[in-house]
Chain A
Amino acid sequence: MVVFPNTFSASVFLIVLAVWFPVTVMTSSGIANVRNSFFEVAKTLGADRKYLIFKVAIPAAYPNIFIGLFMGMGSSFLTLIVGEMLGVKAGLGWYINWAQGWAELHKVYASLILMAVMFSSF
């Protein structure tokens, strides 16, 4: 209650945590797996540290970084729905709960289908 006075900031924190983890892990493993010979070639071409980081390590790790970003996107939606169902007063997750309260199951199913369609593209 002290750190996160309302459910909105608490949800933001949870989503940040859910995104941060896969992005960080995939980025670091991507950079750790860059072939050493790329660095060696760059060094014999006269590269400094800055070049090695920004023009070799990061581009070489792009595939992994993007996987991390996509995983983060998936988990962020998941956490968003959880946040909406538990306290936030807006969004599809909240709407499902609300429609459920009125026993309007067609609305519940409609939002479930809407969610499936929207999130499947990511």
Chain B
Amino acid sequence: MVNSRKVDSGKLEIKNVGRTFLDVKGNEIVALKDASLIVNEGEFVSLVGPSGCGKSTLLRLIAGLDTPSLGEVLLDGTPISGPGYERGLVFQDPTLFPWLNVKNNVASGLVARKVYNKKENEVQDYINLVGLTGFENSYPHQLSGGMAQRVALARALVNHPKVLLLDEPLGALDAFTRMQMQDEILRIWQERQTTVVLVTHDIDEAIYMSDRIVIMTPRPGKIQETIKVEIGRPRRRNDPDFFKIRSKILEILHFAKEEQLSYYL
């Protein structure tokens, strides 16, 4: 089976990070303002918030696909200067390479790092891990959405990332596949003990999966509050504590109000 060595690093430090973009007229748009967050080794943290709150921007900064305008992002004390395999990323869209079959898609990280010859056997292990045994030679267009997302997950995991970054990976799946995939990701996370940062719109998903939930609000995008989810694992989806946390989050996001603020504006 997969070498489930404990990853003893993967601490993320986000220090006063800001990111501004310029629009067509040259006006500054603040996508993320003064965000500070520490994600410990092996922790599962979710970023939730409405669109425009900067959660995907923050994830892209951690992935190194974008550089902060202010502040810095550190992984195990080293500033992040660009994308790297120790920070695996899974998008909402699986973005599998359509010209490669499942096996070669999963292997692409090893090929890119020129270690494929040494680690060829691991590819099969990860295909088994995500439950796609028997589909090694299928091409992406032959897979369902859930299966394609599993391949994307295996492709990110095969590099043994210290941090796994998930950008709404289950957003495009139907409710049942989504719940199944949540359990799958949790199982892999517990087995591999990597740090996970999950961006999601789905509050229930965040509560079910994470150790901590970072709530972000838009205009300008910033971290509003961090909530610890103190429910033991394995969690039950119908746990009454879920509802308490859920209503707390909704309150912070001003979705739990009786009267609509916009009436007065």
Asked if A and B bind, the verdict is: yes
- Chain A residues at the B interface, C-beta cutoff of 8 Å: 35, 37-38, 40-48, 51, 55-56, 59-60, 62
Whether B63 lies near A45 (C-beta < 8 A) is no
Task: Tell me which residues across on chain B come within 8 A of A59, comparing CB atoms.
Answer: 97, 99
Task: Tell me which residues across on chain B come within 8 A of A43, comparing CB atoms.
Answer: 64-65, 82-83
The contact sample of 27 A-B pairs, CB cut-off 8 A, is A37-B91, A37-B93, A38-B95, A38-B97, A40-B63, A40-B89, A41-B91, A41-B95, A43-B83, A44-B63, A44-B65, A44-B83, A44-B89, A44-B156, A44-B165, A45-B88, A45-B108, A45-B109, A45-B112, A46-B85, A46-B159, A48-B112, A51-B111, A55-B112, A56-B97, A59-B97, A62-B99
A105 to B156, CA, bound (A): 68
How near does chain A come to B265, taking the closest CB pair, in angstroms? Answer: 37
A48 to B114, CA, bound (A): 10
Task: Tell me which residues across on chain A come within 8 A of B85, comparing CB atoms.
Answer: 44-46
Task: Tell me which residues across on chain A come within 8 A of B91, comparing CB atoms.
Answer: 37, 41
Task: Tell me which residues across on chain A come within 8 A of B222, comparing CB atoms.
Answer: none
B176-220 CB contact bits vs A (8 Å, 1 = yes)? 000000000000000000000000000000000000000000000
- Chain B residues at the A interface, C-beta cutoff of 8 Å: 63-65, 82-85, 87-89, 91, 93, 95, 97, 99, 108-109, 111-113, 155-156, 159, 165
How near does chain B come to A40, taking the closest CB pair, in angstroms? Answer: 5
How near does chain A come to B42, taking the closest CB pair, in angstroms? Answer: 20
Task: Tell me which residues across on chain A come within 8 A of B89, comparing CB atoms.
Answer: 40-41, 44
A37 to B90, CA, bound (A): 11
Whether A46 lies near B95 (C-beta < 8 A) is no
Contacts A41-B95, A42-B108, A44-B84 known; 19 new A-B pairs at CB < 8 A: A37-B91, A37-B93, A38-B95, A40-B83, A41-B89, A42-B112, A44-B63, A45-B109, A45-B112, A45-B159, A46-B84, A46-B113, A46-B159, A47-B112, A48-B112, A51-B111, A55-B108, A56-B97, A60-B99
Please name the residue on chain A nearest to B82 by beta carbon: A43
Nearest 9 A/B pairs, CB to CB = A46-B85, A45-B109, A43-B83, A47-B112, A44-B89, A46-B113, A59-B99, A51-B112, A37-B95
Please name the residue on chain A nearest to B93 by beta carbon: A37
Task: Tell me which residues across on chain A come within 8 A of B156, comparing CB atoms.
Answer: 44-45
Please name the residue on chain B nearest to A45 by beta carbon: B109
Task: Tell me which residues across on chain A come within 8 A of B87, comparing CB atoms.
Answer: 44
How near does chain A come to B194, taking the closest CB pair, in angstroms? Answer: 14
